Amino acid sequence: MTTSTTHGPGGRAGTIWREVTQHGLLWPSVALVALLLACGAKSPGFLDVTLRDDHLYGQLVDLLRNSATPLLLALGMCLVIATGGIDLSVGAVMAMSLAVSLTYLDGAADPSSPVTVATALALGLGLGAVAGAFNGFMVAALGIQPFIATMILMVAGRGVAMLITEGQITTVTSPPFKSLGSGFVLGVPTPVVIAVAVFVLVTLAVRRTALGMFLESIGINREASRLAGVKARSTTWTVYVIAGLLAGLAGIVYGAPTMAADANNIGLLRELDAIMVVVLGGTRLDGGRFHLGGLVVGALLLSALERAVIIFELPSQTTPLFKAVVLIAVCVAASPYLRGRLRTPRPGARGAQRPVEVAA
Amino acid sequence: MSTDQLTRTASRGTGPRASVDRVRGYLGRVDRRFLPVLGTVLTLLLMLGVGQSRYSTDRASFLSMKLLSNLLVDNSYLLVLAVGMTFVILQGGIDLSVGAVVALVGLATAKLFTAGLPLPVVLAVGVLIGTSCGLLIGVMVQVFDIQPFIASLAVMFLARGLANVVSTNSLAIDDPGFSALAAWSLKFGEGRGLWRINASMLIAFAVLLVAVYLLHYTRFGRTVYGLGAGDRGAAVTLMGLQPARTRVWVYVISGTCAGIAGILFALYTKSGFNLTGIGMELDAIAAVVIGGTLLSGGVGFVLGTGAGVLVYGLIQVLIAREGLDSWWTRVFIGAVLLAFVMLQRVVSVRRR
């Protein structure tokens, strides 16, 4: 995920130093480590991970579990942002997918049978994909701005979720479905396994094939990439479907532990969290270059922040305040203005080296 | 263009083709910038017509000053928010913080009254809180080159967090001066036809008029439109206008409007609550888009935004009159938004 740049003479240590200080993930990573250490100092047991009944337990494991939902959402969001778009509807899609899954389970004869659970899962994911296809249709086929196109579903989606649950908070009991959110696979929490699997899949898909390059080229210049033979339209469409699918999955994973489809509150403002994770991960919102590895750091930072507020015995309602502080700090630290300010006094800066390279 | 005229003159004859062309000719003569707003006005008339035919009784007509007055009373805060948002969107930015600012201002107002400060001070501080939130976004966008979406998102979190710090309970406002301001109104008509003009309507109207003046009759307004053209302010700089200052100012205006809206909302509910205004920024953006302003910036009218707010309010009235569950409102607003986005798309394709 490192950005390869040409380095002038200046010694290996200097190269590494520049590489580190100019890496987009420096500040988020520093913030994450500082936050974890601070939590560890405040509550001594925080960094312990224990093995009980073959299951991993501990604050850090909980933190990983909580990072699964934002990571899933952010993966889809990152791909969409890479094409120069945005998807505001993911929160509403989470609510819709969970609503349709749980409503199906509620009406089924035996909510615990594997076939029923698989069908419920497929319905939820299918609805997510349909929602994504709708967004993709608006953006790719009709050429509507992504912000407004996905806002339509953001506004209407929650209404649709309410229609599905008929305004009730549907609750069902189905142990297999519940285990999607609160179970363990080989001692690791299921949501973590799901998130890691999806992350690996997506990374392979975009970095081992040309897909990632297509996405970046569309994000940088749609028309040029179309002329270069990239199927801009269908690629954009695919990306929105993936984002919808992942949002549906995130909704199911997020809602499975409680098994309650609360259409008003599931996934509320989650789209903004997801966008925040993408930005914290070093991807700029204007499209083009994207960093999947940064998403992991971003998602962990987000849940570490939420956890730290509890550890430090602050009222949990103040979480947005700290989110704001971290977001502003990271964005300002990464802004070109401040970087320029920090760089100009040093003589070995990149701009000054250009003539040397030309001369040599 | 010339071929267009050729076909028009060639087909000037009889039959249905000719009449279609004639309609197109009339439409072509209307400035294309007005087309989205025209759509808004038509929608408004259509909805009023539907309401009139379905809900009018012998005793009371649906269309009345009372309806208009109720619409404005219920949506005056949204009108102010949407007017502020119009500036930002015309300039090519976005402001997601306004809903949270409304909550923060409402709570701060309630808290300041409990502290025993006089009414004018509290109102001024309330508006200034909004102004400083806007200034913060403006500085982040202009100086640190952070995208408006992220900058205003950060301020949204900030304002929401601060509101939660002030109080997580609903604080009632029982200041006598404030209650008198909330209750004050000019009454017109008699009996069932009674309608009123209250303080928040007047404030909202004043904001609207100031916005019309600023956008259409000042150098500042031209800079806002120029920045929305999407060349990163190149044309504006060539014209000798000041893009940097203007870019900060639009967010200050939007923040100030959010501050005013916060006070109007407090007047409306006579309380402050930290959970108010979740999603209100989207209501404002939706009203602006329905009002015919292109989200890409540079095209739109602040009076269109006024019509957009009326459409928005009317949807809620019609849903309530129809006896549908409240979540239908969201679905309908989504559908109306969809229709308008399609219309804008058609218009912008035709302009090319």
**pLDDT tens, residue by residue, B315-332:** 888 888 888 877 788 888
User: Each residue of A116-141: pLDDT tens digit?
Assistant: 999 999 999 999 999 999 999 999 98
Nearest to A318 among B161, B296, B333 (CB): B161
User: Mean pLDDT across chain A, nearest whole number?
Assistant: 84
Of residues A206 and B33, more confidently modeled: A206
Residue B28 pLDDT: 60
Residue B6 pLDDT: 43
Residue B327 pLDDT: 77
Distance between CA B91 and CA B36 in Å, rounded?
Answer: 18
User: Mean pLDDT across chain B, nearest whole number?
Assistant: 84
- A159 and B330: CB-CB below 8 Å? yes
Q: Which of B133, B137, B153 is the best residue to mutate to test the A interface, defined by the most A CB atoms within 10 Å of its own CB?
A: B153
Which of B236, B246, B238 shows the shortest CA–CA distance to B214?
Answer: B246
Contact list, A338 vs chain B (CB under 8 Å): 144
**B197, B69 in Cβ contact below 8 A?**
yes
Distance between CA B76 and CA B204 in Å, rounded?
Answer: 6
Distance between CA B82 and CA B35 in Å, rounded?
Answer: 20
Contact list, A276 vs chain B (CB under 8 Å): 150, 153
Q: Which of A89, A138, A144, A321 is the best residue to mutate to test the B interface, defined by the most B CB atoms within 10 Å of its own CB?
A: A321
Range from A22-36, A200-214, B169-183, B259-273 carrying the lowest mean pLDDT: A22-36
Residue B194 pLDDT: 79
Residue of chain B minimizing CA distance to A263: B327
Residue of chain A minimizing CA distance to B167: A317
- A324 and B150: CB-CB below 8 Å? no
Contact list, A323 vs chain B (CB under 8 Å): 157, 161
Calculate mean pLDDT across residues A90-102. 93
**B94, A147 in Cβ contact below 8 A?**
yes
According to DSSP, residue A4 is labeled: P
Distance between CA B264 and CA B72 in Å, rounded?
Answer: 12
- B334 and A322: CB-CB below 8 Å? no
Residue of chain A minimizing CA distance to B339: A152
Nearest to B327 among A86, A163, A338 (CB): A163
Measured in angstroms, the CA of A325 and the nearest CA of chain B are apart by: 7
Which of B297, B275, B295 shows the shortest CA–CA distance to B286?
Answer: B295
Residue A132 pLDDT: 96
Contact list, B89 vs chain A (CB under 8 Å): none
Measured in angstroms, the CA of A203 and the nearest CA of chain B are apart by: 25
Q: Is the pLDDT of residue A351 over 50?
A: no
Nearest to B331 among A156, A269, A328 (CB): A156
Of residues B39 and A99, more confidently modeled: A99
Distance between CA B245 and CA A121 in Å, rounded?
Answer: 52
ipTM over the 0.85 cut-off: no
Nearest to B145 among A145, A151, A337 (CB): A337
Distance between CA B77 and CA B94 in Å, rounded?
Answer: 18
Give the pLDDT band (50/70/90) at residue B351.
low
